[in-house]
Structure 1
């Protein structure tokens, strides 16, 4: 068990760091475009398309997963449950908006800011959970939100002050605003997934795969055509998809980055699935903190020792302020993760037809039915939108793509039994 956890941690940190760095590095790679001019590959929409493309490769993990899970419940699912997969269009749409904003913001900011500003999603998810899911926040949640707001402000201020050029400073502020708006859309995705996708009766990895496929469809049918016909500076368009393919054709580096990114996304999802099963919320908070630190350190190593200033980011006189902001974000995130949100009333918490027992030790031969009959402690229905304790990245696609947090109050034994009983959770042996 310890070896599996260690391998999962190492894999998640390694491949998660690589995907974050490549998302920024690709914007600085130069190639010949459709007009014959050499220019940098500043294509945030194509980067969004590449991320969805990487998500779609999760079907390979699902094929591997099928060998280890029992699918009895899914085989007997009703036709309405089978067709309900199309509701994934809704969270996929929010994911598309969020990723476009994050990738566009990454054009003007550093990858460390890109990582740290994800803490804004906690703030927006808390707000949306109260407004739409009728959650109840406690003093600890409000304190965590305040800490995250202070941290976000310090990170943004540090990077704004470090930019001497006034015009570039304006672009930097615009990038930070876009990223914060992207986290708002990402928070909406979490809430929408929890509300619409709770009864899909499918493993999380399949939800991620479908979001990738639906994202690709929306990019090809809606986003790229609109971006092509809107006037702009990218070969006459806001973003010219044909110019993107020409640049990729003429650059082995672009081809290598895109291929490496897709492979790393696949391995990152694999290790994320294992960490989801084996770890706690505290470990996941620690892992995300470590990944942000590693990304920042490697980005500075790229700048000073490898690319000689072409890629990466330097250490400035205001970087100490960014470190302080990062510490606030870590404390706020950890504080929030230790205090799950509750339903708005105790009556809503207990008055549900289907209850899930909260236990800590079970015999391996115990069936889920026997547990339901014998347990005297219940915490509410299996998949409710209003009264399961929730943290801001219970969303499967958030965790699989970005290494977010997905803690649960279910004991590992109950989680495994519930998986075998309903086929509704992702597990890899």
Structure 2
């Protein structure tokens, strides 16, 4: 079945904005500018400020939801289903996980390459699978266990590629690269907890996906914005890459933006892209399929890697290709992307079963909106 122009647009929008999200965050990290009170020129290293910008992008989805709802209600026959009323505090625990996981990942992005950052995020499959078995009582299929094993192998290969390239990378020390990679994997444990919490407490409510994303963005934006105040006074020594050596110096970030306005462009790119990426991802699941969404989410890793190489942000290493292929196989096996292909083979009749298996996944993604996307 051929895709319509609108479906092609949605797929392209998801791939483009998903790639821009990581690339714009990395671009901001690569700037250097003077800080406040004549502080000499130094790198823009403000992961928590960047995380606030990302949550602002998610919060904008709530604004878009209400605009679309108002527009729909003016029609003679409204078609938009706003969903049932719910207690917004249901979204507080997953929002806290999102806040912590995202902040850790932005810290890690300062230490490693954009492509490795995106590849290593595939580790979420391992922890989501294990936690869903432990706390949701889910039984994983043999192919899903094999997918987890492939993912572990792919992570080892990508980590090895980073270890080898770290010796000839001038922008990051080897110790920073290894620390960054470990932080990314650690963050995926928190993201997996977030997904399990969403599935256990949120998906059973009929919440519109834009409203779900926006509500989590609301909690994340306001809580993290308030936390920037105590972070300004918490000294962490050499761990922090800012002149005052505090956990986060938001004033220094604003001063650097004033000296180098291009940093603001990078931050706005991150904020706007996450908003459109969430919208596009939800729409792809609704208009095409959950499987297509997962494929596009994997393809953006290739886009990020190619653009990073073209811009000279990182050095080519053949092991990264091997690691990505193994991770892609792991993702395909875990998410059942192989089932529709097998169903087309004469020896593997099961097309109807494959469609039946995808239906719950489509409903799950449309019901919560956050499980298969994000930055």
- TM-score interval (norm. to shorter): 0.7 to 0.9
* Residue among 32, 42, 45 paired with 1:42: 45
Match of 1:185 in 2: 190
* Residue among 221, 225, 233 paired with 1:229: 233
Structure 1: any 5+ residue segments left out of the alignment?
304-311, 341-357, 362-377, 383-387, 403-429
Match of 1:111 in 2: 114
User: Aligned runs of 1:37-186 on 2, under 5 Å?
Assistant: 37-66=40-69, 67=72, 69-71=79-81, 74=84, 77=85, 81=86, 84-164=87-167, 168-186=173-191
1:26-48 C-alpha deviation (Å, 9 max, x unpaired): 01112221142211111111111
Structure 1 contact 160–173 (Cα < 8 Å) conserved: yes
Structure 1 contact 52–216 (Cα < 8 Å) conserved: yes
Structure 2 contact 213–369 (Cα < 8 Å) conserved: yes
Match of 2:369 in 1: 396
> Between Structure 1 and Structure 2, which shows a larger proportion of helix residues?
2
1:361-383 C-alpha deviation (Å, 9 max, x unpaired): 9xxxxxxxxxxxxxxxx99xx9x
Task: Quote the offset at 1:202 in angstroms.
Answer: 2.1
* Residue among 298, 305, 309 paired with 2:307: 298
TM-score, normalised via structure 1 length? 0.74
Task: Quote the offset at 1:145 in angstroms.
Answer: 0.5
CA-based RMSD:
2.8
Match of 2:332 in 1: 334
Task: Quote the offset at 1:100 in angstroms.
Answer: 1.2
Distance 1:339 1:19, change over 3 A: closer
State the number of aligned residues.
343
Distance 1:400 1:143, change over 3 A: closer
Match of 2:32 in 1: 30
Task: Quote the offset at 1:208 in angstroms.
Answer: 0.6
Structure 1 contact 27–107 (Cα < 8 Å) conserved: yes
Task: Quote the offset at 1:284 in angstroms.
Answer: 2.3
User: Aligned runs of 1:233-248 on 2, under 5 Å?
Assistant: 233=240, 234-236=242-244, 237-248=246-257
Structure 2: any 5+ residue segments left out of the alignment?
73-77, 339-351
After the TM superposition, which of the residue ranges 164-173 and 186-195 deviates more from structure 2?
Answer: 164-173
Structure 1 contact 105–176 (Cα < 8 Å) conserved: yes
1:250-288 C-alpha deviation (Å, 9 max, x unpaired): 221112222233222333233223212122243223212
Tell me the SS of whatever aligns to 1:187: helix
Task: Quote the offset at 1:199 in angstroms.
Answer: 4.0
* Residue among 260, 264, 270 paired with 2:273: 264
Cα distance in structure 1, aligned partners of 2:37 and 2:157: 42
Tell me the SS of whatever aligns to 1:397: coil
Tell me the SS of whatever aligns to 1:208: helix
Cα distance in structure 2, aligned partners of 1:252 and 1:323: 35
TM-score, normalised via structure 2 length? 0.84
Tell me the SS of whatever aligns to 1:58: helix
Distance 1:146 1:52, change over 3 A: same
Task: Quote the offset at 1:169 in angstroms.
Answer: 1.1
Task: Quote the offset at 1:401 in angstroms.
Answer: 2.6
